[in-house]
Amino acid sequence: MTTAAARDIYSPDLYVAGAPHELFTELRRTSPLYWQDMPGEPGYWAVLKHADVEFVSQRSDLFSAASGGIVLENLEEDRLEALRGSLLAMDPPQHRAYRKPLVKSFTAKVVGGMEARIREITQEIFATLPAEGVVEFVHDVTSSLPTQVIGELMGLPREDWDYIHRLAERNTTSQDPNVGGGEEDGYGPGAASIEMAKYAIGFAMKRRVEEPREDLTTLILESEFGGKRMSDVEFGMFFVQLVTAGNDTTKTMLAAGLHALLTHPEQLAAVRQDPALVPGAVEEILRWANPLHYFRRTATQDVELRGVQIKAGDKVAMYYTSANRDEEVFEDAQSFDISRRPNPHLSFGFAEHFCLGVHIARLEGRVFFEELFASFPRIELAGEPTRVRSNLNNALKTLPVRMYRTA
């Protein structure tokens, strides 16, 4: 039985040793809508069951992303207002007006057209690694792929990719003192986002006077959102959102994915032998090691859920980490099983805000693992991984592995 003190699912410290799956399992049984206090501000309702996470995601009339934002900590009004410029923190009808023009650039078909470039980018990253040796997989291998893919998608000049990547790395809204923006190097909280937004504003100004191209930047600059074009400032905020949304999450999927496979060697052997198993493995990695623990909503009115009275204004957190292991939906939910079908995990959210980059993320995952196994027939753990201290990002901080180009 877990003690009351250990039931603090807000504390970022709880997550350093890994997601608290035993505790979530117990809470799903005993209090699937769990009230959690927070230091210095009102606490929140943790929604732990799969069906309830779907319900909250679907009912944006009852649970708003805009009114209090999407993280548990209440933000200052100016930061909240800036956040409301991003899709993630908009409510319908504004959300639909902004999302609709973008959807056509993110379909499986359009994204599929990027496969060859993503493969090339992945191969270029692998080419920088030694023929045999220990690498820190999170930083040396996974970290630049997502920003380079966004660079490609947006048509950023190649010489700027490194710069955007460095800013993205600092942009991590991390509770870990060793990750993300620190005051000491001139990047206080939010400074990297502001610098990135400024870069994007300059980029938009330049592109407006150039010939249109076949990329997302042209599409955004030429589309109407709610009846009007995006201003350069709006473009800047949107750009930051795209880079941020796709960066840590994808990195995490790749690093946690390799770790999951290395610790399940029989499944690693199977997927190495038959690359057709890679897409199923990627889905199971996403379910079992979901990159984001939760996103928040705020109740717009009094609502009763599972017999619990949620009051208007209450914070409500949708715990993907718990929903993905809900035994009412997943058989043998705690086991990692790359042959799991169907696999209705909620790692990309659900309904209104369902991840716009889902096809990009899946493609990056598939291509990355196909190329990894083709380039490195042998990979071994070379030490214990460490984890980011965060109640939001379910991420590895370091993963030392030894990689061999020959078997």
Q: Which residues bind ligand HEM (CB under 6 A)?
A: 57, 87-88, 99, 150, 241-242, 245-246, 249-250, 253, 291-292, 295, 347-350, 353-357, 360-361
Q: Could you give the residue ranges of the DSSP H alpha helices within 224-291?
A: 232-262, 265-273, 278-288
Q: Which is nearer to ligand HEM, 188 or 226 (CB)?
A: 226
What CA–CA distances, in Å, run from 310 to 11, 22, 73, 198, 352?
22, 25, 18, 40, 21
Compute the Cα dihedral for 86, 89, 91, 92 and give only its sign: positive
Q: How far is the CB of 253 from ligand HEM (least distance, A)?
A: 4
Q: How far is the CB of 240 from ligand HEM (least distance, A)?
A: 11
Q: Which is nearer to ligand HEM, 187 or 350 (CB)?
A: 350
Q: How far is the CB of 257 from ligand HEM (least distance, A)?
A: 9
Q: Which is nearer to ligand HEM, 27 or 292 (CB)?
A: 292
Q: Which is nearer to ligand HEM, 181 or 291 (CB)?
A: 291
Question: Residue 342, preceding bond cis, omega within 30 degrees?
Answer: yes
Q: Which two tokens stand for residue 240?
A: 């930051």
CB atoms within 10 A of CB 205: 11
Q: Could you give the residue ranges of the DSSP H alpha helices within 35-143?
A: 50-58, 77-83, 94-103, 108-112, 115-127
Q: How far is the CB of 209 from ligand HEM (least distance, A)?
A: 26
Cα angle: 17, vertex 242, 112; to 5 degrees: 100
Q: Which is nearer to ligand HEM, 199 or 407 (CB)?
A: 199
Q: How far is the CB of 210 from ligand HEM (least distance, A)?
A: 23
Q: Which is nearer to ligand HEM, 84 or 402 (CB)?
A: 84
**b/e burial code for range 36-49 (CB count within 10 A of at least 16 → b):** beeeeeeebbbbbb
| Calpha distance 107→104 (Å, rounded) | 6
Q: How far is the CB of 313 from ligand HEM (least distance, A)?
A: 19
Q: Which two tokens stand for residue 185?
A: 């190097």
Q: Which is nearer to ligand HEM, 24 or 350 (CB)?
A: 350
Q: Nearest-CA neighbor of 387 among 16, 13, 62, 1?
A: 16
Q: Which is nearer to ligand HEM, 245 or 261 (CB)?
A: 245
Q: How far is the CB of 101 from ligand HEM (least distance, A)?
A: 12
Q: How far is the CB of 114 from ligand HEM (least distance, A)?
A: 11
| Calpha distance 142→150 (Å, rounded) | 14
